[in-house]
Chain A
C-alpha cells in the first residue's frame, strides 16, 4: 500500500520559495521592495525539512527493497498477503491513535478495548444475534469505551488523557476477562470470518480493503472537512482554539470516540481472523499503535501528522517483524529493533523542530 502525502494544512509546500522579510523597511510608505533572490541557505534548510517529512515513507521503501533482495520469499504474493493481513489491525489502531495524538493526546486503552470488543461480539454470536448486529456490537463497544475516555478527560477536567485511558485499559481488560470467564469463546459467523481472514487473489486480504476504506475516510475527514481543521487547531493551540470559538471539548471527545471505534474495527478484524473472541487479544497493541504513529513521522507534541504517517508507521512495524521472521532472526530481537526505530523517529522529530527554529530566525534577519 503506497501512501501519498498530499499537502495538508500546515505542511511545508514543496514549491514554496521563501522571502525572508515582512515588508521592506527601507521604503517608508511600505511599498513592496524589490524581490530578493531566495537565499541558498533557505534552499538547504527547506530541502532538509521536506526530506524529514517524506523520510519515513522513503525508509519503508528502502526496507522493502532491501528485504526483497535478501530473501526472495519476502516479495512472494503469499508473503505479501500475510504481511498485509498481519498489519491490518495495527493500521486501523494507528489511524485512531493518530487523531488522538494530533490533538496532543494519547489513547492507551485501544488494546484492551479490542479484546473487549471481540468478547462482546462473541457473546452476541452465542446469544444468536444476526451477523450485522454482532458487527454493530463490536463497533459500539469500541466507541463506548472511547466515549468514556473522552468524556471523563474533557468534562472531568483531567490535565492529561494518559490516566483515564490507563484506567480504561485496565477496566476494559477486566471486563473482557469477566464476561468471557477468562476463556476464548469460539465461533464467528462466516461473513465476519471473510472480513477478517479471507485473502483474495492469493495476496489481497479483505481486511486490507477495510483498512483502505477507513484510511480514505480518515483522509477526507482530516484534510477536507471542517472537523479536520478543528483537530489540527486544537492540537496546535488549544487556548487559541477556544478563543476563536472552536468547540474544543466536543472536538476532543470526538477523537477518543473515533479511536475507540477503530479499536472496535480492530476487534472485528481480529475476531474474523481467529474465529473467536478472547480476553487476551490485543495485548500491548496500544503500544504498537503509538509506535506506528511516531515512526510514521507524526509529532508526539501534537498538531502535526497525517493519515499517511500512521499507515507508513504501521507497515514499517509489520515489515520489520515479517522480514526478521523470514531471515530467521531470533524473534526476541524484534522488540529491540522496533525500539531503536522509535528512537530514530523521535530524534527526527527533534531535528525537524530545530531546523524550523533556524528557519524562523533566518527570516527575522534583514
Chain B
C-alpha cells in the first residue's frame, strides 16, 4: 500500500495539527533533546527515525505527558499547550500506543478502551462509585473496531487470549478512538510477524485517512517507506535531516541514521 498519489498533505501547505519548536530535555548532564523542532499535519504520517539513544522515545514521551520539556513549545493547532501529565496529553487530543502496549490482559477490549475513563453514571456520585454502562462501552468499542476493520474474537474475550497482532490492533484502535488529533505509535510492528505487521500498517493508513496526524517511531525502514509521508531523522538528540521515505532515498536515510557523510 502506498501513500495517495495526489493531494498528499506534505505539499498542501495546511497548518500543522501539532508542532514542537526548540524542544530541550536534559537528564542530569545528558542532553536527550537538543532544540528539536517538528510538525505533523492532519492526514499525514510522519516517521521518526534514528538509532537507539537518538532521542525519539524521549520526544514522544514528552508529547505523551510522561516527561516534561525543559524548554521549548508544543502547539496544537497553533495554540501553545502545556502537557504535564498523560491526562493532559489525552485531554488535548494526543493518544500514544506504547511499545509495551500497556494493555490490561485480564480485561476485554471495551474495558481496555475505557480504562480510566469508564462510561458510568450518575454523575453526582464520586467517579469510583458510579455504575458502569457496559452496553454503551461495548457498542462504541465495536463501532471503532469495525470502522478500522479489525476482526477480533467475539466481544467480551479478554485481551490476554489474543495474538500479538490482535493485541496491537486493540492498542492502536484504542488510541484511534480517543485521539481527536494526534496518534503516536512507538515501534508498532516490532514484535509482530509479517502477516500481523501487514494488518497494523493497514491500520495506520486508515488512521491517516481519518484525518489524524500520525507520528510513528520505527526501525523497520520497509514499513516506514510503505506508510510514512515524511521521515525525520534524529541523532544524539538533534534533528539531522528530513526525507521523503522512498526506495531511492533509502541509502540517504540510512546514512543519516548512522551518521555517515552522505
**B-contacting residues of A (Cβ < 8 Å)?**
7, 9-13, 15-25, 28-32, 224-230, 232-233, 235-237, 239-241, 243-247, 251, 254, 303-304, 356, 359-361, 363-364, 366
Contacts and interface: CB of A to CB of B under 8 A. Distances in A.
Contacts of A356: 160-161
Given A360-B160, A364-B196, A22 B166 contact: yes
A235 B151 contact: no
Contacts of A30: 149, 199, 202-203, 206
B116 A246 contact: yes
B104 A225 contact: no
B169 A22 contact: yes
A22 B165 CA distance: 7
Nearest to B1: A28
Contacts of B71: none
A66 B155 CA distance: 38
Interface stretch (B35-43, B122-130, B229-237): B122-130
A229 B128 CA distance: 9
Nearest to A254: B128
B131 interface: yes
A304 B104 CA distance: 11
Contacts of B151: 19, 21-24, 32
Contacts of B87: 245
B163 A225 contact: no
Chain A's interface: helix, strand, loop or mixed, by majority?
A: loop
A244 B90 CA distance: 9
Interface in B56-86: 66, 86
B1 A237 contact: no
Contacts of B103: 237, 240
Given A226-B127, A239-B102, 4 more contacts: A7-B156, A23-B151, A229-B111, A243-B98
Contact of A230 (B128, B131, B195, B196): B128
Contact of A243 (B102, B153, B160, B199): B102
Interface string B106-132: 111001000111101000000111111
Chain B's interface: helix, strand, loop or mixed, by majority?
A: loop
Nearest to A363: B163
B132 A224 contact: yes
Contacts of B98: 243
B154 A18 contact: yes
Nearest to A304: B106
Interface string B141-166: 00000000111111111101111111
A359 B203 CA distance: 24
B106 A244 contact: no
B106 A232 contact: yes
A245 B116 contact: yes
A197 B197 CA distance: 64
A7 B111 CA distance: 13
Contacts of A9: 106-108, 111, 158
A15 B1 contact: no
Nearest to B160: A356
B198 interface: yes
24 contacts: A13-B157, A16-B157, A18-B154, A20-B163, A22-B199, A25-B199, A29-B202, A30-B202, A226-B118, A226-B127, A226-B129, A228-B132, A230-B128, A232-B104, A233-B116, A237-B102, A237-B103, A237-B104, A237-B105, A244-B86, A245-B87, A247-B128, A251-B128, A356-B161
Nearest to B98: A243
B199 A23 contact: yes
Contacts of A360: 160-164
A225 B193 contact: no
A104 B136 CA distance: 29
A15 B160 CA distance: 18
Contact of A225 (B116, B132, B164, B206): B132
A233 B115 CA distance: 7
A235 B105 CA distance: 10
Nearest to A12: B157
A232 B132 CA distance: 14
Contact of A224 (B1, B131, B161, B162): B131
B153 A363 contact: yes
A16 to B, nearest CB: 4
B153 A241 contact: no
Contacts of B150: 22-23
B105 A225 contact: no
Most buried by A among B107, B202, B203: B107
Nearest to A229: B118
A29 B148 CA distance: 11
A31 B149 contact: yes
6 interchain residue pairs of minimum CB distance: A244-B116, A16-B154, A364-B163, A303-B106, A363-B163, A236-B106
B160 A229 contact: no
Given A30-B149, A240-B102, A232 B157 contact: no
Nearest to B193: A364
Nearest to A31: B149
Contacts of B203: 23, 30
A21 B195 CA distance: 10
